[in-house]
Structure 1
């Protein structure tokens, strides 16, 4: 049961990566992540004894699942290595692609050598995966087919662990990379224990403990892979709640900006699309208000060319106060609002996001200030 939970989580992470690759442009990183997670999930599934017996019976080769597990583990190491080296590399795309192909080629050669060594070894009676490892990863067993793949996995995943820890940070993707890297470190430790037994050393732990450690490592890798999707979902739900009042008000004023809106789709895309609608509506509202302000000040429909082409000045106030002024101006112009004391349009420069804010963060800050005003007004009412 635990093995299927692990395989299911890894399969879910793989499916999410496949879905993301289908929606977005396919990349080396996406392909590598799909290979790494899918292969690790296959390792977990192949070590479920009923499935192991079924595959061995269908292919008419005892313990063939263990040979396939070697190939899957090599593929996982290769995919992880390509993923981390691609993310960390600053070279040109063509050079990065050639390096990735070379890494896959090395892994393919090692996988072929491992399979040849497995098939040329003496056949053994059918047994459970843990019992097979206990018998073969000893000085008296047939440990030769395991030496090369375990050595490759150790070297490749050690590189992944080093790069993953180096590039981890406090961002959403950085936290996920850190959790993923912790899982890879545990896989390195389990592989090290297996390698020590393969070369004839008893090692600090037995096969059972190393297999348990490998299962824990798979769970951590699955958690690290699913973490961005989970955080994106909860974060997108929160952002939808924040922008909804502002989007509803601006949609009432500028109904044309909603033409062609896609009602369904990935949650993160829906949030980005609605923020784009808010940005367009804010620009239209601000342009109209600025035109009315000029007409009221000069009594003419147009200003001099110098005034029209002048760059609007950003206000010298904190970003929160700047966003609050924009939100107050929108809030004062809502339907049914009192006209007395209505804040005047602060100016086009107030719509420009501060240097420390991205476009998305700035729209979210204005929406947050507007939501605060609407909730405060509801409480007062």
Structure 2
């Protein structure tokens, strides 16, 4: 059951990455992330004994699913390494692609040697993956089919850990990368324990404990991969609640702004669309308050900078102007227009943050009016 939970989380993370890649332009980083997560999910699924037995029976070669797990782990290490090196590199795109091809080539060679070593070795009786590892990891059974993949996985994932720690930060993506890196650290430890057992230099940890550590690593990697999507969803829902009152009021005044807008789609895109509608409606309101004069031109020519007040106070003035137009539409509301330069976002704010600030102030004003009227 736990194996399928881990495999399901990794499959969900892979599906989200595939969906994101389909919606956006396909990139080398996205493809590498899909390969890494999908391969790791395959490793988890292949450790389910009924599936292991089914694959071995179909291929008619005992324990072949264990070899496929090795190949999938190699693919996971290669995808993770390409993903982190491509995302962190400042080289030209053509150079990054060449480096990625070299990395994939090395991984393919090691996977091919692993498969050749497995199929040229004497067949063994059918057994569970953990039992197969216990019998074949040791000084008397050390072969290229174990040593090469373990060395490659450990070295490749060590590079991923180094780059992941270096580029982790407090941003949403940085936090997710940090959690992902913790999972990779656990994978490196599990690979190191398997490698030490393969050369017969430690009895400190058994195969079962190392496999459990690898399962924990898969769970942490899946959590790190899903974290941005979860945070984006909750963040988008919160932003929708903030901008909804302002959007409703401006849409009532300018219904044509929403023509042609798709009501469904990814939540982040819906938030961006609705913020764009608010921005357009604010421009139309300012133009009407100026008597048809171009608000953008007035802002650029007469007042090149935003007013010298705190951002919260500036957003509050805009919100009060919109609120006045709801209570006293027409010339009375236009008289409260603070000026086109007040619509310019402060230097420290992005367009999105500025719309959110205005919407938050308007929502607060609306709540106060509702409380006062009741």
Q: Contact (CA 8 Å) 1:117, 1:144: kept in 2 or not?
A: yes
Deviating more after overlay: 353-362 vs 140-149: 140-149
Query: Cα–Cα, structure 1 residues 211 and 231, in superposed 2: closer, same or farther, change >3 Å?
Result: same
TM superposition shift of 1:36: 0.2
Structure 2 CA distance for aligned equivalents of residues 152 and 60 of structure 1: 28
Equivalent residue number for residue 373 of structure 1: 365
Query: Cα–Cα, structure 1 residues 73 and 215, in superposed 2: closer, same or farther, change >3 Å?
Result: same
Equivalent residue number for residue 329 of structure 1: 321
Structure 2 CA distance for aligned equivalents of residues 308 and 132 of structure 1: 73
Map residues 198-277 of structure 1 onto 2, 5 A cutoff: 198-277=198-277
Deviations 1:69-126 (A, max 9, x none): 1110000000000010011101111111111111111111111111111111111110
Structure 1 CA distance for aligned equivalents of residues 300 and 230 of structure 2: 47
- Is 1:348 the counterpart of 2:340 in the alignment? yes
Q: How many residues align?
A: 371
The SS at the match of 1:177 is helix
TM-score normalised according to structure 2 size: 0.95
TM superposition shift of 1:307: 9.9
Q: Contact (CA 8 Å) 1:84, 1:160: kept in 2 or not?
A: yes
Equivalent residue number for residue 138 of structure 2: 138
Q: Contact (CA 8 Å) 2:114, 2:146: kept in 1 or not?
A: yes
Structure 1 CA distance for aligned equivalents of residues 99 and 242 of structure 2: 44
Q: Once superposed, what is the RMSD of the aligned Cα atoms?
A: 2.0
Q: Contact (CA 8 Å) 2:114, 2:144: kept in 1 or not?
A: no
Query: Cα–Cα, structure 1 residues 124 and 2, in superposed 2: closer, same or farther, change >3 Å?
Result: same
Query: Cα–Cα, structure 1 residues 313 and 120, in superposed 2: closer, same or farther, change >3 Å?
Result: same
Equivalent residue number for residue 183 of structure 2: 183
Q: Contact (CA 8 Å) 1:328, 1:343: kept in 2 or not?
A: no
Gaps of 5+ in 2: none
Structure 1 CA distance for aligned equivalents of residues 57 and 116 of structure 2: 20
The SS at the match of 1:123 is coil
Equivalent residue number for residue 359 of structure 1: 351
TM superposition shift of 1:24: 0.5
Equivalent residue number for residue 86 of structure 1: 86
TM superposition shift of 1:140: 2.2
TM-score normalised according to structure 1 size: 0.94
Equivalent residue number for residue 147 of structure 1: 147
Gaps of 5+ in 1: 295-301
- Is 1:51 the counterpart of 2:51 in the alignment? yes
